C-alpha cells in the first residue's frame, strides 16, 4: 500500500510539473508529461514516445562529441550513482536546437529500475548571461558604489581600475594606485603566496578562500578576504586581458576572532589546569591510560600497568597469573580497552564455571541437532569475539581434550562448530588467566605443555594484596565510596584502628575479600565513622595457627574457621565463598586441594 501511495504521488507530480519529464527504460521512452510534449513541439504524447533519445538531440554537442555517445555515458553514470545532472542541447521535431538543464535520476517504479528525466529549458537564461557579459561596461556605477572592495588588473597585475571603497580602506587616492602592481600593496611575507594564487586565477583555475594582509598608506595593515577568487572579464565571447578582483575587508572581524581565540585558549588552559588538578586530587593513583577500576599507587601495580600498556598495542597472546581475587579480569579489560580492538567486543568465559559437557559448545558453538537438547543453532564465544578479544578465565580448569582445540585456534585461528564439518576462521586476540601453577599442572599431565607455551607469550603476574599493602587505604576508600553511594550511607572517617586491622591482615581472598569486608562494614555502620564490627579481620592469626609455618597451612586454617562459622555452608549470601570473596567453584577446588573435609 505504501508503494502504491508513493507511485500515485509521483504520477500526480509527474503529470502536473512545469518541467518536462520523461521516463526512460534502457534507451526507450515509456512515458512523458504534457510539458515534455510541448517542449519538443509534438502533437501528442504518442508522437513523442515514438522517438528515440537520439531523435531529440542534435548530432553533436558544443564540445564536438557525438550526442549519442555522451547520452550513454550520462545514463550509465545516473544508474551507477543514482543521479546525474548536466547541461545539454536538445532538438525539437522542427529542427530548432535549444539548451536545457538535465537531471537523470534512477528510480524504482512499477517493480523495476528506470531513469526519470527532468528537463528545463534554459535558452532565456543563456541569453541573459550573454547579455550580461556584453553589457558589463554599463555597470560601472555598481562597480564604483559597491560596498565590497573591487579593482581591475591586467594580466600582469597592474591596477587599471579601483572603486572608492577599496581606496577608502587603504587610504590612497586613485592617482596613487592606478598603474601600480597589486602586489605592491600586499605585505612582504605574503607576496609570494598571493602572487602564486593570482597566477592560477589568470589561468582560470578555481581559487580557494584566502586571507591577505594589505598595506595601507599610514603603514598599518588591513586583512581582506577573497572568498570566491578573481574573475576573468570577457569582451564578447573572448576573454579580455583583465581580471576583476572582489574582496571584503575583514580586519575588524579578524581582530575579534584573534581576540576570541586568545580568550578561548586561556579558558581552555584554565579548564585543563583545573581538570588536571581535580584529576590529580581524585585519581592520583591512576596511571597513563586512566585505568578507572584499577586502584593503587604501589610500584608493583605500576609495573603491571606498564606491562599492560606495552602489550596492548600488539595482538600478542597474554597470560595473566595471580591468586584468586587479585583483579585478573580488570587487567584483561585494561589490555583490551587500550588496544586497537577496543571498538570490538571483549568476550569473557570462565572455564571453571561451566560443566565439562557444555564448555566446548560454549566456546565453539553448535548446530541444531548436534546433540540432545541442541534445539537451535548457537554461535560460540570465539565467533562472537571475531576481530575482538576473548578472555579465558581459569584456563587451568579447561579439560585436556578441549585444550587441543584451543591450541588449534591459537595456531591457525580456525575451528569447527559441533555438528558442522565446515571450518570457521576467526581473528581473535586471546587473553587467558589462571590462579593455578600451570608448570606443576604440566607435570601432573592435567595441562598440555604445547598449549602452555602458546599462551605464555606475554605473561603478567598480578601481585597479591599482601604484596601491595600500601594500596589498601586507597582500595578501602574506593570501596567505601562505592558502597556508600549504593546503600545510601555517608562515611567520612576510617579510624586508625580499623585501618591498622586492614593493613595487618594477610588477605588470602585478596581484593575481592577486602571488597566484601568493606561492604559488610558499610552495611553495619550507622554514623560517619567506619565501624569494625565483627566483620573485619583481627590483627592476630586465626586460632591455632601460631605455630604454622606455611602459607598453605594458614590458608587452610582460615578457610576452616570461616566454614565452621557458617556451619559448613559454602554457597549463598551467608556462605563461606561469599565471606572469603571467592567464586563458589574456586572454593570447592581449594577445599579439594587442601584436603578439607567436614
List residues bridging with 493 in a β-sheet.
Answer: 529
Across 406-477, the runs of DSSP E, i.e. the strands, are 414-416, 423-425, 429-434, 458-461
Q: Is 329 within 8 Å of 433 (Cβ atoms)? A: yes
- Give the three-state DSSP class for 121: strand
Q: What is the CATH classification number for the domain harbouring 559?
A: 1.10.10
Distance CA 466, CA 557 (A): 17
In a domain, 448, yes or no: yes
In a domain, 184, yes or no: yes
Are 558 and 508 part of one and the same domain?
no
Do 119 and 157 belong to one domain?
no
Q: Which of 421, 414, 419 is nearest to 383 (CA)?
A: 414
For residue 411, being part of any structural domain is answered with yes
Euclidean distance between CA atoms 491 and 493, whole angstroms: 6
The predicted pLDDT at position 398 comes to 87
CA-CA distance, 55 to 327, in Å (whole number)?
Answer: 79
533 plus 554 within the same structural domain: no
Instruction: Indicate if the alpha-carbon torsion angle 156, 160, 163, 167 is positive or negative.
Output: positive
40 touches 56 (CB < 8 A): yes
**Strand 318-321 vs strand 429-434: parallel, antiparallel, or unpaired?**
parallel
Q: For residue 569, what are the contacts with CB-CB under 8 A and spacing of at least 6?
A: 575, 576
Map residue 223 onto helix, strand or coil: strand
Residue indicated by cell numbers 586491622: 501
Residue 405 placed within a domain: yes
SS3 321: strand
Distance CA 573, CA 536 (A): 17
On whether the CB atoms of residues 211 and 223 are closer than 8 A, the answer is yes
Q: Indicate the number of domains in the chain.
A: 5
Angle at 346 between CA 341 and CA 349, to 5 degrees: 145
For cell 599482601, what's the residue?
A: 466
Angle at which helix 328-337 crosses helix 299-312, to 10 degrees, equals 40
- CA 404 and chain centroid, separation: 37
Residue 264 belongs to some domain of the structure: no
Both 386 and 451 in a single domain? yes
Ordered alpha helix ranges (H), 488-575: 496-504, 510-524, 551-565
**Residue linked to cell 508529461:** 33
Same domain, 108 and 214: no
**How far, CA to CA in Å, does 408 sit from each of 192, 401, 417, 429, 556?**
64, 12, 13, 14, 38
The pLDDT score that the predictor gives to residue 8 is 78
Q: Is the same domain home to 6 and 117? A: yes
Question: Which pLDDT belongs to residue 572?
Answer: 80
DSSP string, 98-112: EEEEEEEEEEEETTE
Q: Are 215 and 317 in a shared domain? A: no
The crossing angle, in degrees rounded to 10, of helices 510-524 and 496-504 is 150
Tens place of pLDDT per residue across the chain (598 aa): 556 666 777 778 888 889 999 999 888 899 999 999 999 999 999 999 999 888 899 989 888 888 888 888 888 898 889 899 999 999 999 999 999 999 999 888 777 888 999 999 998 888 888 887 777 666 676 677 777 888 888 888 888 888 888 888 888 998 998 999 988 888 888 888 888 887 777 777 766 777 888 888 888 888 888 754 455 555 555 555 677 788 888 888 888 888 888 888 888 766 754 554 444 334 333 443 445 568 888 888 889 999 999 999 999 999 999 998 898 999 999 999 999 998 888 888 888 877 767 888 888 888 888 888 777 888 888 888 888 999 999 999 888 888 888 888 888 888 888 888 888 899 999 999 999 999 999 999 999 999 999 999 999 999 999 999 999 888 988 988 888 888 888 888 888 888 888 888 888 889 888 888 888 888 888 888 887 666 655 544 444 444 444 666 777 778 888 888 887 888 887 788 888 877 887 888 888 878 887 7
Question: Domain with 524 in it: what CATH number?
Answer: 1.10.8.60
Residue 95 and residue 66 in one domain: yes
Cβ 223 vs Cβ 212: under 8 Å? yes
Backbone angles phi, psi at 68, to 5 degrees: -65, -30
Of 420, 436, 461, the domain-final residue: 461
* Antiparallel, parallel or unpaired: β 346-350 and 389-393: parallel
The whole-model pTM stands at 0.45
pLDDT of residue 534: 65
Contacts of 201 (CB under 8 A, 6+ apart): 207, 229, 230, 243
Long-range contacts of 520-526 (CB under 8 A, 24+ apart): 522/480, 522/483, 522/484, 522/487, 522/489, 522/491, 523/483, 523/487, 525/489, 525/491
Last residue of a domain, one of 510, 539, 568: 539
d(CA 108, CA 358): 50
Residue 507 CB-half CA count within 13 A: 27
| Residue where the block lists cell 578439607 | 596
Q: Calculate the alpha carbon distances from 598 to 95, 552, 560, 564, 594 in Å.
A: 109, 18, 9, 9, 12
Q: End of a domain among 419, 444, 461?
A: 461
pLDDT score, position 288: 38
- 443 and 566 share a domain? no
DSSP SS3 for 57: coil
Centre a 10 Å sphere on the Cβ of residue 517 and count the other Cβ atoms it contains: 24
CA separation for the pair 147, 163 (Å, rounded): 9
Domain of residue 438 covers: 299-461
CATH number of the domain enclosing 143: 3.30.450.20
Residue 162 and residue 89 share a domain: no
Asked if residue 244 and residue 192 are part of one domain, the reply reads yes
Question: How much helix, strand and coil, in percent to the nearest 5, is found in the chain?
Answer: 45, 20, 35
Beta pairing partners, 587? none
In a domain, 586, yes or no: yes
34 and 176, same domain (yes or no): no
Amino acid at each position: 500500500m505504501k508503494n502504491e501511495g508513493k507511485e500515485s504521488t509521483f504520477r500526480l507530480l509527474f503529470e502536473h510539473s512545469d518541467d518536462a519529464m520523461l521516463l526512460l527504460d534502457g534507451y526507450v521512452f515509456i512515458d512523458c508529461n504534457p510539458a515534455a510534449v510541448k517542449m519538443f513541439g509534438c502533437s501528442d504524447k504518442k508522437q513523442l514516445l515514438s522517438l528515440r533519445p537520439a531523435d531529440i538531440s542534435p548530432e553533436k554537442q558544443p564540445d564536438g562529441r557525438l550526442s549519442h555517445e555522451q547520452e550513454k555515458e550520462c545514463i550509465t553514470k545516473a544508474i551507477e550513482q543514482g543521479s546525474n545532472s548536466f547541461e545539454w542541447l536538445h532538438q525539437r521535431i522542427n529542427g530548432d536546437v535549444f539548451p536545457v538543464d538535465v537531471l537523470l535520476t534512477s528510480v524504482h517504479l512499477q517493480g523495476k529500475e528506470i531513469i526519470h528525466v527532468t528537463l528545463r529549458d534554459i535558452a532565456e537564461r543563456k541569453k541573459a548571461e550573454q547579455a550580461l557579459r556584453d553589457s558589463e561596461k554599463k555597470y560601472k556605477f555598481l562597480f564604483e558604489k559597491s560596498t565590497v572592495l573591487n579593482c581591475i588588473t591586467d594580466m600582469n597585475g597592474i591596477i587599471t581600475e579601483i572603486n572608492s571603497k577599496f581606496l577608502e580602506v587603504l587610504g590612497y587616492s586613485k592617482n596613487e594606485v592606478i598603474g601600480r602592481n597589486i602586489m605592491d600593496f600586499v605585505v612582504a611575507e605574503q607576496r609570494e603566496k598571493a602572487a602564486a594564487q593570482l597566477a592560477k586565477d589568470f589561468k582560470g583555475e578555481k581559487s580557494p578562500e584566502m586571507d591577505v594582509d594589505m598595506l595601507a598608506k599610514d603603514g598599518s595593515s588591513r586583512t581582506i578576504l577573497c572568498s570566491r577568487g578573481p574573475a576573468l572579464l570577457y569582451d564578447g565571447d573572448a576573454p579580455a586581458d583583465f581580471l576583476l578582483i572582489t574582496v571584503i575587508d575583514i580586519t575588524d572581524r579578524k581582530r575579534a576572532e584573534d581576540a576570541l581565540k586568545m580568550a578561548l585558549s586561556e579558558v581552555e588552559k584554565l579548564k585543563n589546569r583545573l581538570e588536571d588538578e581535580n584529576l590529580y586530587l581524585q585519581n592520583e593513583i591512576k596511571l597513563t591510560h586512566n585505568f578507572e577500576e584499577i586502584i593503587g599507587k604501589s610500584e608493583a601495580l605500576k609495573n603491571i600497568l606498564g606491562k599492560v600498556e606495552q602489550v596492548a598495542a600488539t595482538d600478542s597472546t597474554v597470560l595473566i597469573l595471580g591468586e584468586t581475587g587479585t583483579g585478573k579480569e580488570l587487567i584483561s579489560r585494561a589490555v583490551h580497552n587500550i588496544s586497537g580492538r577496543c571498538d570490538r567486543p571483549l568476550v569473557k568465559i570462565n572455564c571453571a564455571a561451566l560443566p565439562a559437557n557444555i564448555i566446548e559448545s560454549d566456546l565453539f558453538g553448535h548446530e541444531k541437532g548436534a546433540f540432545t537438547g541442541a534445539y537451535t543453532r548457537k554461535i560460540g564465544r570465539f565467533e562472537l569475539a571475531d576481530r575482538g578479544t576473548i578472555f579465558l578465565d581459569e584456563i587451568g580448569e579447561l579439560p585436556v581434550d578441549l585444550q587441543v582445540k584451543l591450541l588449534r585456534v591459537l595456531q591457525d585461528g580456525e575451528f569447527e562448530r559441533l555438528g558442522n564439518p565446515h571450518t570457521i576462521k576467526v581473528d581473535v586476540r586471546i587473553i587467558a588467566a589462571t590462579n593455578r601453577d600451570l608448570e606443576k599442572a604440566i607435570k601432573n599431565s592435567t595441562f598440555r605443555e604445547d598449549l602452555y607455551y602458546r599462551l605464555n607469550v606475554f605473561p603478567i603476574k598480578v601481585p597479591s594484596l599482601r604484596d601491595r599493602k600500601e594500596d589498601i587505604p586507597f582500595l578501602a576508600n574506593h570501596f567505601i565510596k562505592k558502597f556508600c553511594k549504593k546503600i545510601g550511607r555517608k562515611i567520612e572517617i576510617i579510624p586508625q584502628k580499623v585501618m591498622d586491622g586492614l593493613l595487618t591482615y594477610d588477605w588470602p581472598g585478596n581484593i575481592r575479600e577486602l571488597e566484601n569486608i568493606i561492604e559488610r562494614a558499610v552495611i553495619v555502620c550507622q554514623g560517619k565513622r567506619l565501624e569494625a564490627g565483627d566483620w573485619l579481620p583481627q590483627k592476630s592469626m586465626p586460632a591455632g595457627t601460631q605455630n604454622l609455618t606455611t602459607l598453605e597451612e594458614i590458608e587452610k586454617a582460615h578457610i576452616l574457621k570461616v566454614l565452621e562459622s557458617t556451619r559448613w555452608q559454602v554457597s549463598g549470601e551467608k556462605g563461606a565463598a561469599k565471606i572469603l570473596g571467592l567464586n563458589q567453584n574456586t572454593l570447592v577446588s581449594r577445599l579439594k586441594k587442601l584436603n578439607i573435609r567436614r
